[in-house]
């Protein structure tokens, strides 16, 4: 594994996740979350958990990048798309499963699935563009 490229991919992946999740959860899904306020922390108290959320996003980017580097074949964007789609199905299904045990709407469950799916495809493309063909 090339540590410099791994670090770059992890960092850029983290920035992507940070912005993407803000847009999804902090903008697009806010009206949906407002339908079930009893399930969520008040917005004011969310700020104290920001370091935990940021750490999780950073670790997610690094772990997914590590998995990508272990299976990297140098096949370009198509490899990144396949990687993202496979992980997106897995992570998306895990997110959607919350619908079975939380009193959320099917719309929110499907939104979480779709958001995870698109996020991992984005990460796969980012990793494929930054990690390139060089194997070291």
> Is the pLDDT assigned to residue 135 strictly greater than 80?
no
Residue 88's closest CA among 59, 125, 129, 128?
125
pLDDT at 133: 58
pLDDT at 10: 96
**What pLDDT band is residue 134 in, cutting at 50, 70 and 90?**
low
- Give the integer Cα–Cα distance in Å for 73 and 58: 24
> Is the pLDDT assigned to residue 136 strictly greater than 50?
no
Q: Please enumerate in sequence order all residues whose Cβ is within 8 A of that of 69, keeping only pairs 6 or more positions apart, or say none.
A: 1, 2, 6, 9, 131
Whole-number Cα distances in Å, 53 to 3, 56, 72: 25, 5, 28
Q: What integer is the mean pLDDT of 59-70?
A: 95
**What pLDDT band is residue 99 in, cutting at 50, 70 and 90?**
very high
| pTM reported for the whole predicted model | 0.90
């Amino acid at each position: 594994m090339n540590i410099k490229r791994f670090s770059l991919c992890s960092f850029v992946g983290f920035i992507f996740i940070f912005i993407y999740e803000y847009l999804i959860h902090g903008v697009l899904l806010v009206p949906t979350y407002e339908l079930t306020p009893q399930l969520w922390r008040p917005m004011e108290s969310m700020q104290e958990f920001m370091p935990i959320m940021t750490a999780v996003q950073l670790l997610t980017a690094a772990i997914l990048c590590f998995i990508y580097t272990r299976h990297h074949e140098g096949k370009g964007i198509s490899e990144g798309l396949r990687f993202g789609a496979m992980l997106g199905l897995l992570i998306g299904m895990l997110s959607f499963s919350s619908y079975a045990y939380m009193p959320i709407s099917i719309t929110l469950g499907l939104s979480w699935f779709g958001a995870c799916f698109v996020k991992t495809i984005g990460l796969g493309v980012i990793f494929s563009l930054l990690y390139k063909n060089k194997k070291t």
